[in-house]
Structure 1
Amino acid sequence: MAARELIGFLRAKVSSLHQARCFHVETSLLATDKNLLIKLRKRTGYSFVNCKRALDKFNNDSKQAEAWLNEEAQKEGWSKASKLQGRKTVEGLIGLLQEGNCAVMVEVNCETDFVARNANFQQLVQQAALGTMMYHQGKQENLATYIKSFLGAGELSQLKTSSDGTLLSDQLALAIGKLGENMTLRRAAWMAVPPNFFIGSYVHGAALSDALSPSSSTAFGKYGALVICQPLEESPRSSVAELGRRLGQHVVGMAPLSLGSLQDEPGGDMETKMLAQPFLLDPSVSVGQYLQPQGMAVVDFLRFECGEELEALDIEPTRHSAES
């Protein structure tokens, strides 16, 4: 073999070995990138294209990539929110959260029932409920009376979320950016009772998304009810909770407009006073008649129906005498 051919052969061999080494390194890097990409995609829910773009931008730093993705999605969400602002939001969910002697109901709306079943939307409803509960933290201490207060859309959007302290309005923009529908934070209500009272609760009409954490403390539905009750005698806690649930079912199903009193004559299906209405689970007796042998009094109630027409909300807290 001539010297020139030998030199050419050796150069080709060295080049081949170099390429093989580079290929091995690149393959290893690609495997690492793919692993990071899958994890980032699963954690954030953003597209593979955007996740890859973020990882490339920050040299595979997942935390920086995620922060950048959220920032970009939020910008896009605010842009989409302004464009979609006029579109009607007639669907959505009621979120109900109860902690001890306090309970919260919120309503968040979207355009379609398809989005209402999405985990990202349900997380937004959950954040609204948690934010409302946090906002009222401490107000239930040393209560001699029960208290009920309301928040309209403007007040609700300015609450901070429990997860990272961002505003609910920012979480809303993020959800709009992800899901591409107009959404609104419509209203919230909070109730707290003294130790000798309890709050019955019930939601109806929606399933939990498979992608939402099963440990979620927020219940979701198209209808929700809170019922403030006062036991007139000692009752087992389990039976009290079940009775509260049944009363909540009645409020959801029969939609009373006022409480009424035990002196009201029992009415028919068109009756709007709760205590005079036929009890939903036993129409042979009125709610008042059902409660008397239970040793229980209903003091107040609240019903939310997703998408219902609203009168102007009184957002100031209202307190009521525990004896009323």
Structure 2
Amino acid sequence: MATITAALVKELRDKTGAGMMDCKQALNETAGDMEAAVDWLRKKGLSKAAKKAGRVAAEGLIGAIVEGAKGVLVEVNSETDFVARNDQFQGLVKMIGQVALHSGTTDVEAIKAAKVGSATVETAISEAIATIGENMTLRRAAALSVGQGVVASYLHNAVTDGLGKLGVIVALESTGQADELTALGRQIAMHIAATNPAALDAAGLDPEVVRREKDVLADKYRQQGKPDNVIEKIVESGLKTYYKEVCLLEQAFIHDSGKSVAQAVKEAEGKVGGPVKITGFVRYALGEGIEKQESDFAAEVAAAAGQG
């Protein structure tokens, strides 16, 4: 039998917002399996925030570099937000973005090994650490490109051109006017920043995620005593609703909620001057998935003053 620790219970509570005793029961019922426990709470209607992402605590900047039909996103982390406002750090992030764009790789180790003049990116990062006095890491990079068309970008909470706390790039394939296409792409990128879709369409969703969603829906209504034939229809309807929530093309467009993103793109084709196809997107939120150790600032100050 799995040992259910207090830390495990707290982690589940942070993920779901459910009560401590409910979280403990869920973990006991699922032999300590975190994902299964989340589903158990959802089926019981006890999860208040089943879709809540992990706490974001890492600092630094997201860099978005686009040139015509290609673009990249990079995330470079630092220990504090003060460093994100440092000109040297900002220059470092932009330089790393340029290297990622022109090197043709998004592999972090390959980018770090790439040359900038006579030195490598890794050396540039080390020198910045030595000068600024704070640890920094290149965490990840992503790239998009199209044969014809544009890659557009949007940065939320931008601190300067091309740098911010949340970045999106989106690839639009089209033979239409580049300026109109870029304007449309920026609107779509803003939409992606706001709604955080899981995939372009239903075909792009992780099959395991879809299976879990179906199981949660089915079990919820099975517990209410619904017959299987009714449950099947409810699940089918529920999945359609789910797709409208998490698939970009089916989401209600934030700039005109009366249309889906797919409909908005179709209507824009006249202005662009040709068919438009969204071929991909990437959304980076600073520090997502990284949890920083919490600290008691007052205690730290007292300790530094020799009082703790």
Q: How far did residue 243 of structure 1 move? A: 0.3
Aligned: 1:305 with 2:285: yes
Task: Give yes or no for contact 1:104–1:133 (8 Å, CA) kept in 2.
Answer: yes
> 1:71-150 counterparts in 2 under 5 A?
90-136=58-104, 150=106
Q: How far did residue 189 of structure 1 move? A: 1.6
Query: For residues 304 and 246 of structure 1, what CA distance do their matches in structure 2 show?
Result: 17
Aligned: 1:285 with 2:238: no
In structure 2, the partner of 1:272 is 246
Q: How far did residue 205 of structure 1 move? A: 1.0
Task: Give yes or no for contact 1:271–1:277 (8 Å, CA) kept in 2.
Answer: yes
In structure 1, the partner of 2:141 is 188
In structure 2, the partner of 1:199 is 151
For 1:26-59, what per-residue CA distance to the aligned partner results, in whole angstroms no more than 9, with x for missing partners? xxxxxxxxxxxxxxxxxxxxxxxxxxxxxxxxxx
Query: For residues 153 and 125 of structure 2, what CA distance do their matches in structure 1 show?
Result: 26
Task: Give yes or no for contact 1:256–1:274 (8 Å, CA) kept in 2.
Answer: yes
TM-score, scaled relative to structure 1 = 0.55
In structure 2, the partner of 1:167 is 120
Query: For residues 219 and 109 of structure 1, what CA distance do their matches in structure 2 show?
Result: 16
Query: For residues 57 and 71 of structure 2, what CA distance do their matches in structure 1 show?
Result: 25
Aligned: 1:226 with 2:178: no
Query: For residues 202 and 243 of structure 2, what CA distance do their matches in structure 1 show?
Result: 17
Query: For residues 58 and 186 of structure 2, what CA distance do their matches in structure 1 show?
Result: 27
Q: How far did residue 268 of structure 1 move? A: 7.7
Query: For residues 116 and 128 of structure 1, what CA distance do their matches in structure 2 show?
Result: 15
For 1:305-324, what per-residue CA distance to the aligned partner results, in whole angstroms no more than 9, with x for missing partners? 111128xxxxxxxxxxxxxx
Query: For residues 85 and 191 of structure 2, what CA distance do their matches in structure 1 show?
Result: 25
Q: How far did residue 244 of structure 1 move? A: 0.7
Query: Residue 256 of structure 1: SS of its match in structure 2?
Result: coil
For 1:46-92, what per-residue CA distance to the aligned partner results, in whole angstroms no more than 9, with x for missing partners? xxxxxxxxxxxxxxxxxxxxxxxxxxxxxxxxxxxxxxxxxx98101
- CA, structure 1 residues 132+289, in 2 after alignment: closer, same or farther (shift >3 Å)? same
The aligned amino acid for 1:93 is: L
Query: For residues 170 and 160 of structure 1, what CA distance do their matches in structure 2 show?
Result: 9
Structure 1 residue ranges without an equivalent (≥5): 1-87, 137-148, 209-217, 311-324
Determine which structure has more spread, i.e. the larger CA radius of gyration. Answer: 1
Task: Give yes or no for contact 1:131–1:159 (8 Å, CA) kept in 2.
Answer: yes
Query: For residues 166 and 100 of structure 1, what CA distance do their matches in structure 2 show?
Result: 28
In structure 2, the partner of 1:237 is 178
Number of corresponding residues: 195
Query: Residue 206 of structure 1: SS of its match in structure 2?
Result: coil
Structure 2 residue ranges without an equivalent (≥5): 1-55, 204-236, 270-275, 291-308
The aligned amino acid for 1:306 is: L
- CA, structure 1 residues 119+189, in 2 after alignment: closer, same or farther (shift >3 Å)? same
Q: How far did residue 134 of structure 1 move? A: 2.8
Query: For residues 120 and 267 of structure 2, what CA distance do their matches in structure 1 show?
Result: 47
Task: Give yes or no for contact 1:258–1:274 (8 Å, CA) kept in 2.
Answer: yes
Query: For residues 255 and 90 of structure 1, what CA distance do their matches in structure 2 show?
Result: 19
> 1:28-47 counterparts in 2 under 5 A?
none
Percent identity of the aligned residues?
Answer: 33
Q: How far did residue 133 of structure 1 move? A: 2.2
Query: For residues 165 and 89 of structure 1, what CA distance do their matches in structure 2 show?
Result: 35
- CA, structure 1 residues 225+266, in 2 after alignment: closer, same or farther (shift >3 Å)? farther
Query: For residues 93 and 142 of structure 2, what CA distance do their matches in structure 1 show?
Result: 13
Task: Give yes or no for contact 2:66–2:152 (8 Å, CA) kept in 1.
Answer: no
Query: Residue 129 of structure 1: SS of its match in structure 2?
Result: helix
